[in-house]
Structure 1
């Protein structure tokens, strides 16, 4: 996931109050775009009250709504493109549903509106920067009821909103239960380690400048910090995320002030391609945490849907289990 995608989680619950909730049908000020079904319900979203079909059948997903919709079992008819690396993290069934959709554009602000209209969607889900949405809002709402989420919508609120608008709340309930069970299990199993250990999560993006890395205070480490209670560093209130600051390899040694380092690996447990240059440095190899088994590779398939977060917690559980008994 890109730093832009992570900004929504970093800003957390600023828009939880506008997360999609079911309300009574109709009402003053409700958007009623062309193509709305006669049988509708009204939901409250970042763009106000929106009438949506009771049971939408042809859903288009733009921006960051695609993966959460697919994660919940949805099969979109049209999508904006996801990166090959993100698609590769999906299950075979999820990949098949993504690939069955028409790719509308690399990004939402480039969507071919004629192609989108030709798909005859009965619902459009969107999460992109608000200025981008405002520039295409009128075109989208003429095509179908459009439900918008700002980038500062917290991930749980996004999952709730996507599920409610798309009428796939059954899957959401199952995922919520599985998430709570996994989160509680990790907390209980590693309570001693969590209470006495300082962690730091390090990352390197495919777009990072050569010879640089970053401390990740957004993304999956945010789940570990906010949901599990692990002690990870984070930016000061109102400041940009630490993850946006590139640090030179010369500063890798400073990670030794933390008890445990976590770093990104793929599903097979290998350092991700962007992070490989870090683990190949002599400075990394010389870290006490590395030589003592306190550097843990953790798989992060994403942090914007319950399915991805559950997979992250499963990987975190396996990683914490490898800590030496004195950890």
Structure 2
């Protein structure tokens, strides 16, 4: 399954691809009935209006309905995708912002920038926002650097980079109180997956695919075979026959391949590659499409090279956009069977 950190290659890929809990205390009488009514209704010692969530930094007591949330690292865009409106965020790349729906970008830009996507957080600036919840996902070394400081400001929920994306979405929705939006997104996701599998079952069962890509971090004259990110969704959830690394080995995407090896893609029936929202090859991948070797590939010459738009793979909104793109791409193969 997709990991949120696997959108990046190696350490560079992780950069491009990769407490004092606030207690809401009830006021009123001291009777047993009063206590039960003003906690969670269970008569426990849990403070009123709070819930416990399990995270990478242990079990954290957080507000049940947080109002001032700061998102750090990879939690920024998934929380906004779920309808959240953070008061503070860390920096996102222009490439990440460019593929956001306009309303989500507006929400992001309305928030205060409190630091970089790593552990370089302006703690004083963050504290001045008076958050009642902080959501964090970045490298464990960054957590080691600033985690304890964050926990002294507000209840802080931390996820490691190896958190599977569906679990990540579930847990952000739970912590950020956006379960209704998550439920809707999940229903759309399941409907899209089912429809694609049923509509294109013959193509899925009888076609060998390879997903190739290139990032702005890639060395000149190189590309890579993508077996992580959105490629995982196509392989694991849809069932496309796509190459992947052997168990226990680094992802194929971590290995840069020279353009001289583009010709080896001829062994596959169909090729998928990255495009932008307008359906044009992404800027880094354009270098691949300009080579004569690419142009002469059987899949390219026969119209079986499919551009796919993958705005992200760590929350349901962008994944659903990817599935729409995959649906349209597979439809073009239907007439070529």
What TM-score comes out, normalization by structure 1 length?
0.90
- How far the C-alpha of 1:108 sits from its partner, in A, is 3.2
2:227 aligned partner: 217
The 3 A distance-change label for structure 1 pair 8 and 245 is: closer
SS of match in other structure, 1:321: helix
1:321 aligned partner: 331
Which shifted more, 56-65 or 317-326?
Answer: 317-326
> Where do residues 182-221 of structure 1 align in structure 2 (5 Å cutoff)?
182-221=192-231
1:6 aligned partner: 6
> Where do residues 17-166 of structure 1 align in structure 2 (5 Å cutoff)?
33-38=20-25, 39-166=49-176
- How far the C-alpha of 1:41 sits from its partner, in A, is 1.0
Q: How many residues align?
A: 304
- How far the C-alpha of 1:227 sits from its partner, in A, is 0.8
Deviation string, structure 1 residues 123-179 (Cα, Å, up to 9, x no partner): 000111122212211100000000011111000000000000001100000000000
Equivalent of 1:242 in 242, 252, 271: 252
Q: State how far apart, in whole Å, the 1-side matches of 2:154 and 2:173 are.
A: 18
SS of match in other structure, 2:114: strand
- How far the C-alpha of 1:7 sits from its partner, in A, is 6.0
- How far the C-alpha of 1:237 sits from its partner, in A, is 0.9
SS of match in other structure, 1:109: coil
Deviation string, structure 1 residues 291-314 (Cα, Å, up to 9, x no partner): 001100010011100001100000
Tell me how large the CA RMSD over aligned residues is. Answer: 1.7
- How far the C-alpha of 1:326 sits from its partner, in A, is 4.1
The 3 A distance-change label for structure 1 pair 34 and 160 is: closer
Q: Do 2:74 and 2:117's aligned partners in 1 also have CA atoms closer than 8 Å?
A: no
- How far the C-alpha of 1:5 sits from its partner, in A, is 3.0
Q: State how far apart, in whole Å, the 1-side matches of 2:8 and 2:269 are.
A: 29
Deviation string, structure 1 residues 94-144 (Cα, Å, up to 9, x no partner): 000000011111223100000000011100001111222122111000000
Structure 2's unaligned 5+ residue stretches are 11-18, 26-48
What TM-score comes out, normalization by structure 2 length?
0.87
1:180 aligned partner: 190
- How far the C-alpha of 1:324 sits from its partner, in A, is 5.4
Q: Do 1:35 and 1:142's aligned partners in 2 also have CA atoms closer than 8 Å?
A: no
Q: State how far apart, in whole Å, the 2-side matches of 1:77 and 1:61 are.
A: 8
Q: Do 1:293 and 1:324's aligned partners in 2 also have CA atoms closer than 8 Å?
A: no
1:258 equivalent to 2:268? Answer yes
1:22 aligned partner: none
